[in-house]
Structure 1
């Protein structure tokens, strides 16, 4: 009996060894054989992954291929099963089984350790079931409105259906759909040097410590401020609002020009604005422009009364609510603050706007809230952010509801990026964009249809050390700033909407819509026959520049969007014949080709380039003023100032050529070179004034009421005129004007003449019968 048992045991062990050997050979041949170390590593990785998932952190995948992550998971599950099943085989305490049972067990074990074909599908199905269960539990627990629930379900189902397709990094908030509200979009407006940039910088740099960005992400043309940073800013605010929005998107538009254009297109790009006013200076020119813009577009806004740290003996404390901080100041500081605050309220009232301090506001719907801030020290910044979040979540809740459809996206800028080619910066307000979507947008020569190659957002600040400055996503949801890489974007026009076409019929409709939008915008621009040539980088910048030129009474003969090429120089050179002063190109925020610059130098076309509209205007007006001065000097000898002179009888110093006598200026202005006439004696010209003296000192001119001595020299081919023979002290002397001299005076010396001088000019015109 015992010998029989030993024999059976021996045979079982030999069979087991043989089976193990065959299995290893087969796995080795298939490349699936794992060592103990590899198995341990996989198990460790699997456990770490599980811990991360349980803690709620998103897992950053390194691959974009569908199913590769699932394969890795299946390999890890396989290794785990190996580690669990192997000790069972090696356990000597198990009771001996008969041959049939042992063979079945070994076959089951081998099947379990091998990698079956349907393992991936099992893992994927299992994961989907878990996700579905989690979503159902979350929806049951969430007590919200039906709309909110529907939005959440839509977002969740979209997310699960594209799970392998989400992104390279699902940790980026742009790659996750909002639940109910999208991030409100904020624009910052104000006069130059009121602290707009400083205010933006303070919001961006919230709580930067040890290379940590405080969760603030830099986005294309925008700054995204997540809830963590908002809570950090608002923790010292007294009446802090509960945060329901996924963050704030602050648009970095260069001034109010682009903002004006985007708003005039009816775009919902900007939900609320911050108007920055320097408390020390009050309302200034651009502040009033911004106010009129906000009123015309009916955009809600709050006022940041900035630079309160400039108040005398101001004591800063960023850990205090700004109301308490103001009340804790010394009496003289409070008095100065109240005086300046009241001055701003009066100035706003002059612009038909009711305003009050935010903590004294009787009705936020009719009164604009003023928030005292200091972008330098940070005082009041928490109150400003809290007020914006409160307004957007309550008064503007309907406006910032997240909608998956229709798509609302605006092209902000067209840029060439090394390694990516020409890209477009887009602000996605509502909806979603996927990699591979067919997009339609306006171009200079017609609508552009292309496919999205890549959706890029910058890396979070703490990951700037990564070689690539952008993070690539498979899908993005509004509100977000995103850079789109695609073919054929060189001629894209910034400032208009971007659309996604889902089928051919829709594609044709969208192409027509884009072209009509661009056409109507260009038709609205009315050019004159003579004027400068204008170029800008975006449609918004072009419209703003043209409006500025119109207000400044500078005519324009042609416009174009995009960089300056040779054809633009050729068009501008047409003015060299008709209006040489206007043979110039005003280029706002665009580049110039080398060939175009060489051609402009050769033809004599002036090119003015600037990134700020006002600088461009200053350059051109300085150029025009310089030209005017040159022409004035060139035509000075032809200019004749109107004058009427009475001869002083006791001041006749020389009666022959040159005649020297004393005169009293009855009217007008006498200057050196003035031709003198005596109409009463029908003497058309007796000579020109060469010298004027007053109190024995030579002067350039004499005005009404002056008594001066003048020297008149003969300047014609006929015989010189003599005092006493041809005219006497009873005759009045007049300056001899002509049609040509009148035109010269109008063109170049208009500012040198007073109203009485022009009246004398009219009198002389009648006297000399000039038409």
Structure 2
């Protein structure tokens, strides 16, 4: 044991320091204060004293003696044999002693147990005391910490309150200042208006006075002339007069009453009246301009707009020229432009409601629908996302099919519509392609959907087509569910996907947003049930309903021209039930349904709300995105389709005319652009749209790529002849040319290309256009030499002593002389020397002598720039 203080020993023994001081004093151990040190000898002395005071024997402090116990001993026993022969035999005997250990007596054991219990009790008391002190200390620290936190929060609140009050005060002061400035400006404006009004009133009064004086003079003059004329008539003989005696004084020669102006009337106070004998005229003009309300249709020509406004066409053209538009009298204007022109001329414009026959048929069909009989319908779910993020694979797992195996290049290039019967109910899925060229198809998918599933690969994150899918979903105003696919991969990072989508305002629910994020794997099936649950939950919240027992209506999802079946359209029923044999109207096309087929190729009799189906029997290929409607009368359907066709043709012609005029105006004073004409034929309408949009976007300032014709179906002889007449390149996407077309193409040496993957077609056209552009010459600087000094020689002329600072200077390349970074001479080298030797080139960091041909004004500090001209192929930017 080490030396301790009196206080520490008292804490160990569990007694007070004062009691321990008394015991130390009684034992003869000097101790004056609690901080005095107690040695080990003093502790032993104190212990003996305490034992003696309790009646116990003093234990010897001398070291114990070593006790050796002999536990065994050996003896020899002599034994005589009894056989008559005196023999003795020694027997060794080993005697082991049993060790008996006796413990302490019962009284000693009782004393030891008593001391142990006292020591244990003292130890327990000490532990309890220490625990209480520790608890008190902890509670004090907690109170202090809470007090500090409360004070800090209070200080922060006071600071925030002060900041808010300061900001409010600053805002109030700023508002007061703005109000003062506004009042000052208002006062200045009022003063200016009062001054202008006073000047206007004075000028108006002066003008009125002059006008009244002039009118009075004219009236007096007319009265005097009339009086003189009457005197002359009275002075004429009878029979030579003009017969006025039989007329009333206030009537004209035809019996009508005259109009008069009363003398002294102001111009603004004149009133039209009939005089009864007075010789004064009266007339009236409009006091304010007439404001007309004009109904503007979708397209109207400049001349028709002028007629509606009762003004000259030149006035309308003048307004359009001030707006930056060069137009002719017969040029059509769109509705928005025409409304701006009408408002600019001071009239009111409103959109004309033109009701077509198709609209009338649609209204009649809607009147028959009883909304009270609406039933819950399956949700229509559109799957969007970037290419190769697993959209179709996800549907494959749900449908237990392999659609991607049938797609060229492993990517979806058509819109696929399917309905799936799950444990959660029937769900209709629309799979959209993810390539950049299919923007129009993705937008069409968003227009017909109730819920959008945005598929994002966990190992790839947000990509360009992912952003387009978000924009389409927001534009359509439909709820979105994010399916984070490929979570089974090692490089999957779901948190990064959430962060990237949150940057595009798609916030997960666990981050405080309203978008459900489901982690799935199209390969293993992980999370598929959760995804279906999320779709069903969202559909229940939306309460999707439709009337089943009514005429069907919906939208065309995709269309194509099948060689054996004719025009084929994939439609999605939105309301009612579509049946085999119904007469449907779809934009420019109509017809009776010959066959109704589901997505698996099986023929069905009907398709209810939210169910996709393939329709056969239309008169032509409808445009994807058009609405279809079941009509009862074939004649009405034909008339509505013909009207729609004529309207589209008229609109198309007007756009072409406007485009020609705009091109003419834009090309004035410019060089003609290189035109590349394309003729596109594809298998489905969606591919036609995607190809047209992507190919025409290749155009730039030098090349104009134009699709002169695009359609669905194989390449015919008519298409080949049109391409020959227009010098167009023929592009076939998943279609082929027939025999007659192939022969004509071969004879005419036309350019024909077949493709099955859209981006290969786009890349091929880009390469072809790049080859047509030709080459251009570019200059590339290869070296710069700094002129350090100039030497003049009678033999070599002016020689510039130079140090090549960049690149290499070659003798046979053209050069430029620069002074203060300005070109002052362009020519070629006359000589290039290193020491006394002529060299062909000098590299960076080497000194040389340069002679510039036909230029002697080289000065120290100039730079000699060496360059070369190279020919490169022009490319599309």
TM-score, length-scaled by structure 2: 0.44
Q: Which structure has the larger Rg?
A: 2
